[in-house]
Amino acid sequence: TGGFSQEAPTLHNPYRDDPILDRVLRRLLPESQYVKVSADLTKFGDRITSEIEHLGRQAELEQPRLEHQDAWGKRIDKLVVCNEWQKLKQICAEEGVISIGYENDVDPFVRRIHQVAKLFLFSPSAGLVSCPMAMTDGAVKTLTVGILYSLNLYGKHKLATEAVDRLRSRDPTSAWTSGQWMTEKKGGSDVAGGCDTYAVQIENDTYRLNGYKWFSSAIDADVALTLARIVDSDGNAVEGSRGLSLFLLRIRDDNGNLNGIQMVRLKNKLGTKQLPTAELLLDGAIAERIGEPGRGVAGISNMLNITRIHNAVASLGYMRRFPALFSFLFKCSFSRIISLARDYSTKRVVFGQTQVKYSKWPLHTTTLAKMEVETRGSMLLLFESARLLGLSEAGKSSDVDAMMLRLITPVLKLYAGKQAVPLVSEGIECFGGQGYMEDTGLPTILRDAQVTPIWEGTTNVLSLDVLRVFSGKENILLAFGKRVSQLLSNTKSEEPRLQKSKESIESALKELQKLLVKASDSAVQGETRIDT
């Protein structure tokens, strides 16, 4: 065996080892709330190291499978997931990963920041259970905003009320999770053009759905939100976006029988192998229409805007593993550390010195510094989105805050997703050959990171979403500029570079505004290239 064995890195409490996250929370939360949130995150951090990290790794090693038939040839479409996956879902309920975002006795502003911080710690160890959690959060938001609160139907709409109560439950024996079935063979970006699922009314808001859903993740969920075209009594359906309505359905009944659904196959994916993603045939699935007919895309956008924030959490979680890995090299200036990394960088000896000594090598230092700074920038944007989301849910947003949330969400998702793959790849290289070895668990991170720019809207599609928001509201960037300038003015430092930053930010934003107006005009004229 060569006589020498590299000592393996150990994961330490990721909250205690992340002073930057702590600093962000101290800045954003009132002191009394900070103390509570911090105590919860410290406890959760311990649970990550002692329990969750191992479960997440096992979920990658024991991947889900689909059994189509029983021994006697009866069609069963049985999805088999490992115990660790189930356990991770239970932990999410116990820890309130979703419910924290909705608890009535806490200021919404605080609870969203708390939730995002908790997800941020959880995500890289979560064995992709973070995916059903994202969709579950999105479903609660959609059902509450789109139906129960806006139409005053809480307690009256039976399925939606039960779903909301169970999706945000802390009781693992009764908690549900939700799927999000939008993508079809003809279109994932172009949901409206690609949707060939049809809904025939049975009575009132109850319909029977027929169609084929091409990508459906976390198919062990209890309910799903999906889109379909309502067929009228003459057998006609409206084409395009305005023909789509939003539906909520149970995936299985109380006896575990599928609700008019066939699981055709599980996707054979590059990564996210822990996560069961299926092609589904909806063959008369019974579903409840939610919200107004023809407002399906607008309705499910509530879900998209939440899952896109979760997606950024995932991108950041993957990135955070790497610069953090080497942050020990830089002591306080690169203080966002996870213990795993610290261990590795202090144990690995190269050219007669431990890896820590790399900090003397400018080229390596530059690489690590770039990774660290990039990750920190996106992390701050993530917490700004959590702050704005909380403000809007507390009914405390100004018009500018509301518009900033709408604008920042796609920017955050597209930027963090796009950033994650090269950054994680760089991180893999920092481990040398060991980074390429399956049994270190590191390649999983690269595979999984590659999905974050794709699902929940690709980079170009989200760029178009930015233009959708921007169009007609050009002054939004200047309002944003004012906020940045204000923050810079509030800083105590007399540092001349800060003053210079302020000026350059203002002129850069003016430039950006001109470019976006141009891009927006091109998009309106049907050109989808955004060279600017």
Rounded to a whole number of angstroms, the minimum distance from the CB of residue 109 to ligand MFK is 21
Q: Is 29 in the site for ligand MFK (CB under 6 A)?
A: no
Q: Is 385 in the site for ligand MFK (CB under 6 A)?
A: no
Exactly one of 86, 241, 434, 460 binds ligand FAD (CB under 6 A); which one? Answer: 460
Residue number, 402 or 454, with CB nearest to ligand FAD: 454
Q: Is 178 in the site for ligand FAD (CB under 6 A)?
A: no
Q: Is 180 in the site for ligand MFK (CB under 6 A)?
A: yes
- Helical ranges in 327-394 per DSSP H: 339-347, 362-393
- Contact (CB, 8 A) for 139 and 62: no
Nearest Cα neighbor of 390 from 131, 21, 66, 112 is 112
Rounded to a whole number of angstroms, the minimum distance from the CB of residue 228 to ligand MFK is 14
335 contact, one of ligand FAD, ligand MFK, none, CB 5-8 Å limit per kind: none
305 contact, one of ligand MFK, ligand FAD, none, CB 5-8 Å limit per kind: ligand MFK
Rounded to a whole number of angstroms, the minimum distance from the CB of residue 10 to ligand FAD is 31
Query: Which range in 187-195, 231-239, 291-299, 303-311 contacts ligand FAD by CB under 6 A?
Result: 187-195
Rounded to a whole number of angstroms, the minimum distance from the CB of residue 424 to ligand FAD is 16
Q: Provide the terminal-to-terminal Cα distance of the chain, rounded to the nearest Å.
A: 56
Alpha-carbon gap, residue 83 to 230, rounded angstroms: 39
Residue number, 84 or 465, with CB nearest to ligand MFK: 465
List of long-range contacts for 27-36, beta carbons under 8 Å, 24+ apart = 28/113, 28/383, 28/387, 29/110, 29/113, 30/110, 33/106, 33/107, 33/110
Alpha-carbon gap, residue 58 to 64, rounded angstroms: 11
Supply the DSSP string of 161-183, one letter for each residue: HHHHHHHT-S-TTT---EEEE--
438 contact, one of ligand FAD, ligand MFK, none, CB 5-8 Å limit per kind: none
Q: Is 187 in the site for ligand FAD (CB under 6 A)?
A: yes
528 contact, one of ligand MFK, ligand FAD, none, CB 5-8 Å limit per kind: ligand FAD
Q: Residue 222's Cα: distance from chain center in Å?
A: 20
Exactly one of 150, 507, 528, 532 binds ligand FAD (CB under 6 A); which one? Answer: 528
Rounded to a whole number of angstroms, the minimum distance from the CB of residue 457 to ligand FAD is 6
Rounded to a whole number of angstroms, the minimum distance from the CB of residue 525 to ligand FAD is 13
What is the pattern of x (binds ligand MFK, CB under 6 A) and - over residues 438-457? -----------------xxx
Residue type, 134: A
Name the percent of the chain in helix, strand, coil, to the closest 5: 55, 15, 30
Number of H helices, E strands in the chain: 16, 11
Element containing residue 247 per DSSP (H, E):
strand 244-250
Distant-in-sequence, close-in-space partners of 110: CB < 8 Å, separation ≥ 6: 29, 30, 33, 37, 390
359 contact, one of ligand FAD, ligand MFK, none, CB 5-8 Å limit per kind: none
Alpha-carbon gap, residue 27 to 236, rounded angstroms: 56
Exactly one of 206, 241, 335, 458 binds ligand FAD (CB under 6 A); which one? Answer: 458
Backbone φ, ψ for residue 385 (5° rounding): -65, -40
Alpha-carbon gap, residue 182 to 199, rounded angstroms: 14
Indicate the residue whose CB is closest to ligand MFK.
241
298 contact, one of ligand MFK, ligand FAD, none, CB 5-8 Å limit per kind: ligand MFK
Q: Is 223 in the site for ligand FAD (CB under 6 A)?
A: no
Residue that is written with structure tokens 């305005």 in the block: 242
227 CB-contact burial (10 Å; exposed 0-12 / middle 13-18 / buried 19+): buried
Interface with ligand MFK in residues 304-323 (CB under 6 A): 304-305, 307, 310-311, 314
Give me the torsion for CA of 312, 313, 317, 320, rounded to 10°.
70
Q: Is 290 in the site for ligand MFK (CB under 6 A)?
A: no
Q: Is 302 in the site for ligand FAD (CB under 6 A)?
A: no
Interface with ligand FAD in residues 40-99 (CB under 6 A): none
Alpha-carbon gap, residue 509 to 93, rounded angstroms: 42
What is the binding site for ligand FAD (CB under 6 A)?
180-183, 187-190, 215-217, 269, 272, 277, 451, 454-455, 457-458, 460-461, 464, 528
Binding site for ligand MFK (CB under 6 A): 130-131, 134-135, 180, 182-183, 188-189, 191-192, 217, 241, 297-298, 301, 304-305, 307, 310-311, 314, 455-457, 461, 465, 468
